[in-house]
Amino acid sequence: MPELPEVESLAAFLRENAVGRAVARIDVVAISCLKTYDPPITALSGLTIGDVTRHGKFLDLDVDGLHLVIHLSRAGWLRWKDKLPAAPPRPGKGPLAMRVHLEDEQGFDLTEAGTQKRLAVYVVRDPQDVPGITSLGPDPLAEGFGVEDLAKILSGRRTQIKGVLRDQSVLAGIGNAYSDEVLHAAKMSPYKLAATVTDAEAATLYEAIMTTLGDAVERSRGLAAKDLKGEKKQGLRVHGRAGEKCPVCGDTIKEVSFADRAMQYCPTCQTGGKPLADRRMSRLLK
């Protein structure tokens, strides 16, 4: 799933390649991805992209005052094309959900792998008209977000820290992968209750968030959209690396599997050497 660093890099890529270009037309291939109807998506034709910004994991293309907002969800992606086919694509079983034609035959495809089909596209007059944006918590990379803000968020929450980091209404932009990376960098168990985080631990966690996300954004800077997935996978130290050696201590990275996701962690670095129960429980194996 694209998270804050990848979406930030996609926004930067589109600012460089799409801003100043007019929308020629938009082909909606999978009607399920389009979540709004007023204004109609056809209203964007002939308008010019003026800016591209990010709200958490949402991409926001300002098109002459209207906003094309994209949420790539778990399996969606944006694929830039220097030359798009002129003929409209045919709806089918492929991954293509939407094609955005810009002037000079350039543009991008929105694709989604798998069968869940959660990719979402909105055309709105104000980004705050998108429910997922309205409910976002603070952006950890926003100017002014400090360790005191994080400590206040954690205070009193009887929720596992892993879940707090993933909750978009609490912190915007961090998902399953980077929450694993942040907690590994902070040497903190994913099952630790947020309310039990001390001031010193909050400072360590804050630094881990800033460093992990900041480094990922820097590594992605200047990359083409097609290269961002590979860079993310290569840059992850524990997420998706169950069975491999921890790059810090050499212990074997463990995994906890859930119905729709999995998390990875290092027992030596994060849980005092004890493996976590591989089921939905917030306790360590005895």
Instruction: Give pTM, 2 decimals.
Output: 0.91
In whole angstroms, give the CA distance from residue 34 to residue 112.
Answer: 13
In whole angstroms, give the CA distance from residue 138 to residue 118.
Answer: 23
DSSP 135: T
Which alpha helices (H) appear in the chain, and where do they start and end? 4-17, 131-134, 147-154, 161-166, 176-186, 199-220, 228-235, 267-270
| Domains of the chain, first to last | 4-134 (3.20.190.10), 147-270 (1.10.8.50)
* pLDDT, tens digit (0-9, with 9 covering 90-100), for 229-251: 788 888 899 999 999 999 999 99
In whole angstroms, give the CA distance from residue 201 to residue 144.
Answer: 20
* pLDDT, tens digit (0-9, with 9 covering 90-100), for 54-87: 999 999 999 999 999 999 998 999 999 999 999 9
- Average pLDDT of the chain? 93
For residue 284, pLDDT beyond 50: no
Count of other CB atoms within 10 angstroms of residue 280:
9
Contacts of 227 (CB under 8 A, 6+ apart): none
Angle between helices 176-186 and 199-220 (to 10 degrees): 130
